[in-house]
Amino acid sequence: MPSIPRPRPRQIATALVVVAVAAGGLVWLNAGDEPPPVTTRDAFLTLQSGPDRTEPVRVDTTLYLPETTPAPAVLVAHGFGGSKESVDSDARELAQRGFVALAWSARGFGRSEGQIALNDPDYEVNDARALVDWLATLPEVTKDGPDDPKVGVTGGSYGGALSLLLAGSDKRVDALAPVITYNDLGQALLPNSAGTSQVARTAAANPYSADGVFKRSWAGIFFAAGMGAAGLADPTGDATEPGTEDDASNSATAGVAVPEPSGGSGGRQPQSGSADPCGRFTAAVCKAYAQVATTGRADQATVDLLRRVSPVSVTGKVTQPTMIVQGEQDTLFGLDQADATARQVSAAGAPVKVVWYTGGHDGGKPGPELRGEIADWFDFHLRGQGTDPGTGFEYAVQGALRAQGAPSVRTVSTGSYPGLGDSAVAERRELALSGQEQTVVNPPGGNPASISSMPGLGSVLGSSSRLAGRIAIDLPGQAARFRSEPMTGQLLIAGASTVGLRVASATGGAPDGAVLFAKLYDVGPDGVRTLPGSAISALRTPPLPADGSAVEFSVSLPAIVRPVEADHRVELVVSTTDQAYATPVEAAAYRIALAPGAELAVPVVTGSRSSSAPPAGPLIGIGVVLGVVVLAVVWGLLRRRREDDVDASLADVPLVIDGLSKSYPGGLKAVNTLSFRVESGQVLGLLGPNGAGKTTTLRMLMGLIQPTEGSIRVFGHRIHPGAPVLSRIGSFVEGAGFLPHLSGRANLELYWAATGRPREHAHFAEALEIAGLGTAVERKVRTYSQGMRQRLAIAQAMLGFPDLMVLDEPTNGLDPPQIHQMREVLRRYAATGRTVVVSSHLLAEVEQACDHVVVMHKGRLVASGAVDDIVAGGGEATFRVDDPAAAEAALRAVGGVRDVVVEGSLVHADLDGLPRSTALAALVTAGVAVEQAGPRRRLEDAFLQLVGEESSA
């Protein structure tokens, strides 16, 4: 065996220098990780609010002060159902970035007084204006002038709408960043996407929300949150009631704000158990909800109220720099709401930046990188620091799962916001859809209803967006379907698609129009359907004539971001029911078809792409240099060691193990000078009791651990971690790691894709047939039994039909028929000239499946050879005969036979080294018919004898 070259002293010194530099770099990188200190002041402020700003209301606040003041201030508003506690971490982060942050519980929430008026300009908005007045009195806040603090405002959902409403009514606001919020609450809760686009209708002077379809599930969650079930509608955090807080010293006063400590329960409103059916809501809000919830339609008073409390009422006055952040997983406030706001604020002359991210009310709050972008926005527009964030557009594209289970995300950036799908500014791709006219029914009572989403589930469970798209169910008879051809390449949809529909009544007309729900699915080649963002468009068609004639109109589908991969289709589904909406209770039937010549118009927004990882600036250069140096040193250390890695004389030999040893600290020697050889076409069984060193040997064979001494060669190549020859080995050692949330097929495909080899070389069909999982291969692996996982692991090992297959205990969890099938599989596999190494404790199975065996004990080789040779080592033979008595007499007459035992038709004889053929000839000469002849001992007998002998030795 060739000796292993040792590293040169110069190489060792270089490596030590690199390690020292890298360690110093890590210390430097980690230095300063402690965030700067933040101090807080908790207080109740008595604000002068109401229509004339003369009505006092006590509001619970927390002021976050940075290390250095004075500094610009940022108001941080919470979501519906939350309180100031919900945004504690956001406010604290802004303070750590150097801003004075102010969080408060809006009237009617937490411990603040007042009733919920849904961001009414006279109440919640005037409350916020009074807070700006108070900030102007604080010496810690930078001023633009008398009574004019340098101030920004941000918030999510309900708080995001407050940001827009405050900016539109108070020009002292210098910048804002509304997050996952609405433009028009009427259009959000009573959407209607038929006849014209949602964007155009929302931007119009009179939004037709009275004709919308009531989003009853989300509206009900809102109302419940106002009654005291806090937190359901707030994706930004937990709305739990805070405990008693320390008194805060805060003596600064302004005529409109009187601070007092917030340590008591003053201002606390009844959270539950109240007899008032309106809870904390104002009478006007309560009446509007009751009217819509009972009728499913909004009267004019409700329409007027919803518009008054919506940002759409003031967006024409917002001229401050505005960063609009909206979620792609949001069945409450879709991307269309942010689109309308962006258009209206841009038209008013404000600089606008739009960001779509992978969360939302169904997917979670912005992560640290996006929150950092928001802070950068305020840095530039409040302090004039940092790089100009510009007025571009960013959207996030969520891709396949990484190995650790997290989805990959990339960002697409463009220089300007193109809108959801405006053909004037965005590219549109036309897709032909196929499907005949179909008749669908609305069942009596609108029940049972189809399912597109579970409103609020995302905010309760956290990031459930990847699961949400799989729960959609369209009930038979209630949905018309139209499909595209498979994609020839990836199609990245970014915005709202449009399509023309043709609808007619099949039951005597619909003077108020039909209520329908349109949605766009991504359908994989395996038939798995995903509803991106769980998004649907609720629409009320134009009136349908009683004579059954059809009406044609355009439908704006929900705005989504979805990469539709090659071989996938898109499927347009138009259904009559959805459990999240109020649907007509009258039974009806409709004929639905595509409008003549209509194609699906899909928006495509191109731009520069990057990963979700934040840039590390100059640190990247340092990391690259260190990485290159380390790689160079490592290569120098290993190059000479691997110069003699190939032994051409063994190029056709699947496996040669020579003097292999593996020692561990403490003197444990798991493998001790093990040597054996495996030839092509063999099925070799590696046997030994627990602790014999079998699995350690296989792990060294797979390059998972390094041997202490000796070598392993596969087809002449020396094995080491990362050796290219490992690609010729298929393995199943110590169980396979599968992603539990993916199907068996998807796991195999993901594994093969990671190898980088062509798909056609995988032989998926053959491997799956061998696995014998049937239709279960389409189920998620987390539903598999141990035996099913075992079969899937064996199929994975066989992918690509490797030249050498290594299986560790492959029959664990298999039932007898499956074990028999596995035995046949291994034999057929070896018959093709390939080689199989099987480690198993089931000796009977090894005896029937393997033709060669290696027996290990205490890390050493005990015996190796053909199974028959190992079994016949004791010289005992068994004959099945027609006349046992005559056979016994004939065998006893043969010289050298020591013992003969008769068991029924079987005659056992100890031949003591005498050839079995000699005994067989004696039986035939005596006229005994021999039906079967073979060794008496089983492999188990030989194994136990070998191990016993070794133990004694």
Overall average pLDDT of the 528-536 stretch:
89
pLDDT tens digit sequence for 577-591: 998 998 888 999 999
The answer to whether 106 touches 158, Cβ cutoff 8 Å, is yes
* pLDDT for the residue 402: 45
* pLDDT for the residue 649: 86
**CA–CA separation, 830 and 846 (whole Å):** 14
**CA–CA separation, 891 and 885 (whole Å):** 10
Structural tokens at position 149: 């603090």
Does domain 876-936 fall into CATH 3.30.70.100?
yes
The answer to whether 102 touches 61, Cβ cutoff 8 Å, is yes
SS3 757: coil
pLDDT tens digit sequence for 662-720: 988 777 888 999 999 999 888 888 887 777 888 889 888 888 888 999 999 999 999 88
pLDDT tens digit sequence for 383-398: 999 889 998 888 888 7
The answer to whether 336 touches 202, Cβ cutoff 8 Å, is yes
Residue 506 burial (CB < 10 Å; 0-12/13-18/19+)? middle
User: Mean of the per-residue pLDDT values for the chain?
Assistant: 80
Q: What is the percentage of the chain residues whose pLDDT exceeds 70?
A: 78
Confidence category of residue 210, pLDDT binned at 50, 70, 90: low
Statement: residue 321 has pLDDT above 80: yes
In the chain, CATH 3.40.50.1820 sits at 39-414
SS3 626: helix
Per-residue CA distances from 25 to 48, 193, 259 (Å): 55, 56, 48
Confidence category of residue 156, pLDDT binned at 50, 70, 90: very high
Question: Of residues 67 and 843, which shows the higher confidence score?
Answer: 67
Instruction: Kindly report which listed range (250-254, 672-676, 787-791) carries the lowest average pLDDT score.
Output: 250-254
Q: Residue 212: phi, psi to the nearest 5? A: -75, 175
Most confident option among 96-100, 192-196, 718-722, 800-804: 96-100
Instruction: Kindly report which listed range (416-425, 733-742, 907-916) carries the lowest average pLDDT score.
Output: 416-425
Q: What is the per-residue DSSP string for 467-500?
A: HHTT--B--TTSEEEEEPPPPSS-EEEEEEEEEE
Residue whose tokens read 């009631």? 241
* pLDDT for the residue 736: 63
Q: What's at 150, amino acid-wise?
A: K
Question: Of residues 465 and 49, which shows the higher confidence score?
Answer: 49
Statement: residue 236 has pLDDT above 60: no
Statement: residue 561 has pLDDT above 50: yes
Domain range 427-609, CATH architecture: Sandwich (2.60)
Rounded to two decimals, the pTM is 0.62
SS3 867: helix
End-to-end CA distance of the chain: 28
pLDDT tens digit sequence for 637-657: 444 444 447 888 888 899 999
Backbone CA torsion sign across 585, 591, 597, 600: positive
**CA–CA separation, 926 and 375 (whole Å):** 102
Question: Of residues 171 and 264, which shows the higher confidence score?
Answer: 171
Question: Of residues 891 and 245, which shows the higher confidence score?
Answer: 891
In the chain, CATH 3.30.70.100 sits at 876-936
Confidence category of residue 798, pLDDT binned at 50, 70, 90: confident
Statement: residue 267 has pLDDT above 50: no
Overall average pLDDT of the 16-26 stretch:
48
In the chain, CATH 3.40.50.300 sits at 648-869
Neighbours of 32 (CB within 10 A): 8
Confidence category of residue 826, pLDDT binned at 50, 70, 90: confident
Which helix H or strand E contains 670, and what residues bound it? strand 668-678
* pLDDT for the residue 143: 95
Q: Residue 933: phi, psi to the nearest 5? A: -140, 140
What is 648-869's CATH number, 3.40.50.300, 3.20.20.70, 3.40.50.150, 2.40.50.140?
3.40.50.300
Overall average pLDDT of the 932-949 stretch:
60
* pLDDT for the residue 261: 52
Q: What is the percentage of the chain residues whose pLDDT exceeds 90?
A: 37
Statement: residue 72 has pLDDT above 90: yes
Overall average pLDDT of the 425-439 stretch:
86
Statement: residue 406 has pLDDT above 60: no
Overall average pLDDT of the 98-107 stretch:
96
pLDDT tens digit sequence for 333-344: 999 999 999 999
Q: What's at 536, amino acid-wise?
A: I
* pLDDT for the residue 277: 74
* pLDDT for the residue 458: 47
Strand 655-664 to 804-808 pairing: unpaired
Question: Of residues 411 and 258, which shows the higher confidence score?
Answer: 411
In the chain, CATH 2.60.120.260 sits at 427-609
Confidence category of residue 113, pLDDT binned at 50, 70, 90: very high
* pLDDT for the residue 589: 93
Overall average pLDDT of the 110-132 stretch:
95
Instruction: Kindly report which listed range (167-176, 427-436, 632-641) carries the lowest average pLDDT score.
Output: 632-641
The answer to whether 561 touches 394, Cβ cutoff 8 Å, is no
Overall average pLDDT of the 62-84 stretch:
95
Confidence category of residue 766, pLDDT binned at 50, 70, 90: confident
Overall average pLDDT of the 134-158 stretch:
95
* Of the candidates 356, 518, 495, the residue with the CA atom closest to the CA atom of residue 423: 495
Instruction: Kindly report which listed range (314-323, 351-360, 624-633, 746-755) carries the lowest average pLDDT score.
Output: 624-633
Q: What's at 204, amino acid-wise?
A: A
* pLDDT for the residue 619: 39
Question: Of residues 839 and 500, which shows the higher confidence score?
Answer: 500
Per-residue CA distances from 333 to 184, 292, 435, 535, 769 (Å): 10, 18, 31, 10, 47
* pLDDT for the residue 421: 59
CATH code for residues 39-414: 3.40.50.1820
Most confident option among 142-151, 641-650, 854-863, 891-900: 142-151
